[in-house]
Amino acid sequence: MTTKTRLLIVFVCIFILLQMNAYALQEHGATEGLLVHQGAHILFFLAMCDFSYRILRTQLFAPLSRKYLFGGSVLLALWNLWAFTGHILASRFTNSPLSHQVGDIFGGRWHITSITDLAYYILKMDDLLLAPAILFFFLASRQIIKEMGKK
């Protein structure tokens, strides 16, 4: 067994023994945390726009790989706009319009009283853009590996 393998096993055991809670929702605490996070969304959006433009201009990959890469980068750019807007709407609520009551099996009840509430719920489902973007990048990677095998 190599040293790298032993280190990997040690780290995995440490992480298994020192379990901590993992939360899907990113809480930012003070305003500064939200501003930094929003700034990161802006920079990531600009990076994906630049990447999309460069993918269109390059001849480095076969057309199918470029289509997948372009699709993934455009979806990630849209996801950043989606998440940016969702964070702005989320900051407007002191209490979420989604209420959880004892006995609710599927998560909670919706109290949609305005178009803002509806937009909040729609923007909370940012995985609708993120998951297909990751799928496109996976398909692009698989296609590039196939092309490399042919050469």
Summarised one tens digit per residue, pLDDT across range 43-90 is 999 999 999 999 999 888 888 999 999 999 999 999 999 999 988 888
Beta bridge partners of 110: 98
The mean per-residue pLDDT over the stretch 126-146 comes to 93
Residue at 11 is within a domain: no
Residue at 51 is within a domain: yes
Q: Which residue range forms the structural domain that includes residue 57?
A: 29-150
The mean per-residue pLDDT over the stretch 16-32 comes to 62
The answer to whether the CB of 123 falls within 8 A of the CB of 89 is yes
pLDDT of residue 99: 59
The torsion defined by the Cα of 38, 42, 43 and 45, in degrees rounded to 10, comes to 130
Residue at 6 is within a domain: no
Residue at 95 is within a domain: yes
Cα separation, 62 vs 94, whole angstroms: 50
Residue at 146 is within a domain: yes
- What value does the mean pLDDT of the chain take? 82
| Res 119 pLDDT > 80 | yes
Count of structural domains within the chain: 1
Q: Where are the alpha helices (DSSP H) in 1-151?
A: 3-17, 31-57, 63-91, 115-124, 127-150
pLDDT of residue 147: 87
Residue at 65 is within a domain: yes
